[in-house]
Amino acid sequence: MAETPRPDPKRDPHEDLRIAESQISAILTIAADAIISLDQRFRITLFNEGATAVFGYTPDEIIGHPLERLIPERFRAIHPSHVADFDAASVAARKMGERQEIFALRKDGTEFAAEASIAKHQVGGKKIYMVVLRDVTERKRTEAALALANTELEKRIAARTRDLEAEIRRREETQAALIQSQRMEAFGQLTGGVAHDFNNLLTIVTGNLELLATEIRDESASTYLKRATDAADMGAALTKRLLTFARRRRLTPQVVDVNELVLGLTEMLKRSLGEPITLTTILAGKLWRTRADPSELENAILNLALNARDAMPSGGQLVIETRNVSTSETAGPPVLAAGDYVLVCATDTGEGMAPDVLEKAFEPFFTTKEQGRGTGLGLSTIYGFAEQSGGHATITSAPSMGTTVSLYLPRADAAGEPVPAAGPSEPVPLSENAETVLVVEDNPDVRELTLQRVEGLGYVVQEAENGPDAIRFLKANEHVDLVLSDIMMMGGMSGYDLARWIKTEMPHIRVVLTTGYAAEEAQQDPAGLVDAPILYKPYARADLATTLHTALHASASPV
Ligand SMILES: Nc1ncnc2c1ncn2[C@@H]1O[C@H](COP(=O)(O)OP(=O)(O)OP(=O)(O)O)[C@@H](O)[C@H]1O
Ligand SMILES: [Mg+2]
């Protein structure tokens, strides 16, 4: 700002005043901002054209009125204290933007955001206030729109970056998986060729040994012959595994219910794992069936359990899980064709694998176990079996983080694939009269699975979540022949309690109890009143079938 020129004593002071007046009047006319003057009682004494444009009042309408008119109702109460603050302050003026933004009121009653400067001065002992006010509504709107556009843009950039990163990762994974599968393919070719020739040779050796056996009577010669035959048999077993890896074994795929297969194996698995390892199964309800060679699948699961045992010398946990998985271009192992698969995973809490071990684990003859303990063919046969079945196998593992081996097996009951009504072929007693079984279980997954298994045996199934729920169901006069209930249930009523209630209230209904606890740990029926048969989880299909059948056909009520 230029300094006010000092009065020149030679000049006419009236003329200076006229010049100043006309300058001020021009400023008031051309200023786009509202310029308002107030007397010391805050009455409006000057209202320029800018003010008319901003507020909508003509000077005639507003001059002489209190400033209050231009302040929204909700700020009127606080306004005097702002004025008092400014009056008390030593500064003579406050410039725009120095104070927080304010809100002003137009003639039409609408509010708008504004910025204001204020100056006070004293003339002849009276205070005069000058206010310059600017409507910043438009600027605020633009700022807000800009901020929104900016955050939108940032969000879009972040999302795009994430997509790109995911895509890069995906490509790297696909590349690595492809290289791995090509390597396995090459190994397969090589191993397959050798194994095939070897098998022919072994067939000749065994055949001739058999012929020789019919000729030889001499006892010591028979011993030599036996040793040779045993060695040839071992060789044959080895070549069989090699051929499996090379996908040249003749497999006999069948439609398999993997849950039943796993349940049928649990006893044997527990025995092979030994005491310090706990085995848990998490089996999906409504699991699709797969088409695979059941005995090879059993072998695979057994081999996984043995690997887990070796990785947990001082104990741990092995979890075998089944699940339905639909893979697509972007979900699931990159080399696996998109489609529906039954997934079987074995997860242990063992020592895990270092990256260099992980990379080679599927290769035939790769083992980190001491001589005589491992042949290094376990995982390679599993790999070959999964591939030949139209599926895939993967390992996730890190040192001291445990290991998960996943087997993807193709879904069998997808469109067009006929599914046999019954599960595995072993003969089990099925329902004779389509009796009704009420399944009482509080874990929804286990309940779903149990319902499916009981239904698979030819029974009509009903379900209840807990004891009180079951009693309500039975009291509603629903026809039930047998109640299959878990012992440990939430909700304060155990399977024993339920069994006792049935014994007194509805003695014609048979009861079978199940429990996940070992016999010794299962809380005994405190009153000793219930002698219902107990199925210990996990139980095989045959056990379930026999127990239900026996309970229903025993002459006296078993409860
Ligand atoms: N669950 C696991 N935890 C940690 N390492 C494992 C696990 N499973 C396999 N491995 C590693 O992978 C190697 C190869 O396993 P694979 O089952 O093919 O052969 P093996 O167990 O050594 O011998 P075989 O199974 O023929 O008796 C193992 O020697 C071990 O180093
Ligand atoms: Mg092994």
Instruction: Please give the chain's pLDDT, 559 residues, in tens.
Output: 555 666 566 777 788 899 999 999 999 999 889 999 999 889 999 999 999 999 999 999 999 999 999 999 988 888 878 878 887 877 777 776 565 678 999 999 999 999 988 888 888 888 899 999 999 988 889 999 999 999 999 999 999 999 999 999 988 888 888 888 888 888 888 888 888 888 888 888 888 888 888 888 888 888 889 999 999 888 888 888 888 888 777 778 889 999 999 998 888 899 889 889 999 999 998 899 999 999 899 999 999 999 999 999 999 999 999 999 998 866 778 778 889 999 999 999 999 999 999 999 999 889 999 887 888 999 999 999 999 999 999 999 999 999 999 999 999 875 545 444 444 455 788 888 889 999 999 888 788 888 988 998 899 999 999 999 999 999 987 899 999 999 887 778 889 999 999 999 999 999 999 887 665 455 666 666 677 888 887 777 888 999 999 999 886 544 4
Gap between the Cα atoms of 323 and 404, Å rounded = 14
Name the residue among 207, 189, 202, 294 with its Cα closest to residue 239.
202
How far from chain centre, in Å, is Cα 160? 22
CATH no., domain 254-410: 3.30.565.10
CA 72 to chain centre: 53
The ligand with the least distance to the CA atom of 366 is: 1
CATH 1.10.287 is right for the domain spanning 168-245: yes
Please give the Cα distance from 410 to 390 (Å, whole number).
6
Say if ligand 1 is within 6 A of residue 360 CB.
no
How far is Cα 555 from Cα 559, in angstroms, rounded to an integer? Answer: 12
pLDDT at 177: 84
φ, ψ for residue 292 (rounded to 5)? -160, 165
Task: Pick the ligand that lies closest to the CA of residue 361.
Answer: 1
- DSSP assignment of 304-373 equals HHHHHHHH-TT-EEEEEEEEEEEE-SSSS-TTSPSEEEEEEEEEE-S----HHHHHHTTSTT---SPTTT
CB-count exposure of residue 502 (10 Å: 0-12, 13-18, 19+): buried
Q: Is the CB of 379 under 6 A from ligand 1?
A: yes
Question: Domain segments of the chain: what residues?
Answer: 28-135, 168-245, 254-410, 436-553
| Ligand 1 atom 4, closest CA | 352
What residues have CB less than 8 Å from 270, skipping those under 6 apart?
A: 279
CA 306–ligand 2 middle distance (angstroms): 6
Kindly identify the ligand whose nearest atom is closest to the C-alpha of 383: 1
Q: Candidates 379, 383, 400, 406: which one to mutate for ligand 1, based on the most atoms within 8 Å of Cβ?
A: 379
- Predicted local distance difference test score (pLDDT) of residue 379: 95
**Closest residue (by CA) to atom 27 of ligand 1?**
374
Torsion of CA 235, 238, 243, 245, to 10 degrees: -160
Q: Which pLDDT score is estimated for 186?
A: 85
Domain 28-135 listed as CATH 3.30.450.20: yes
Give the architecture (CATH level 2) of 436-553: 3-Layer(aba) Sandwich (3.40)
* Ligand 1: nearest atom to the Cα of 364: 18
What does DSSP assign to residue 549?
H
The DSSP bridge pattern shows strands 403-410 and 460-464 to be: unpaired
Nearest to 136 by CA among 112, 109, 106: 112
Please tell me the predicted confidence (pLDDT) of residue 418: 47
What is the torsional sign of CA 253, 185, 372, 271? negative
AA identity, residue 524: Q
pLDDT at residue 8, rounded to an integer? 63
What residues does 439 pair with on adjacent strands?
A: 463, 484
pLDDT of residue 356: 94
Which atom of ligand 1 lies at the shortest distance from residue 350's CA? 3
Q: Is the minimum distance from the CB of 318 to ligand 1 under 6 angstroms?
A: no
Tokens in use for 501? 């209630």
Which ligand is in closest contact with the Cα of 371? 1
Residue whose C-alpha is closest to residue 128's, from 247, 61, 249, 46: 46
Structure token pair of residue 544: 């379930």
pLDDT of 5 reads 60
| Whole-number pLDDT of residue 261 | 92
Pocket test for ligand 1, best of 303, 319, 367 (most atoms within 8 A of CB): 367
Q: Which helix (H) or strand (E) holds 188?
A: helix 137-215
Neighbouring residues of 468: CB distance < 8 A, sequence distance ≥ 6: 491, 493
Which residues, listed in sequence order, are joined to residue 347 by a DSSP beta bridge?
A: 319, 404
Per-state percent for the chain, helix, strand, coil, to nearest 5: 45, 20, 35
- Which residues have C-beta within 8 Å of that of residue 403, sequence separation ≥ 6? 307, 308, 311, 347, 348, 350, 352, 353, 395, 396, 397
Q: What are phi and psi of 101, to 5 degrees?
A: -70, 155
The whole-number pLDDT of residue 419 equals 47
Ramachandran class of 174: left when φ > 0, alpha when ψ lies in -120 to 50, beta otherwise: alpha
- Integer CA distances (angstroms), 113 to 50, 56, 76, 110, 133, in order: 16, 15, 15, 10, 10
Q: What's the CA-to-centroid distance between 179 and ligand 1, angstroms? A: 21
Which of 450, 435, 447, 449 lies closest to 550 in space, CA to CA? 435
The closest alpha carbon to 383, from 393, 374, 375, belongs to 393
Q: What is the per-residue pLDDT for 354?
A: 96
Count of alpha carbons within 13 Å of 220, Cβ hemisphere only? 0
Answer whether 229 contacts ligand 1 (Cβ < 6 A).
no
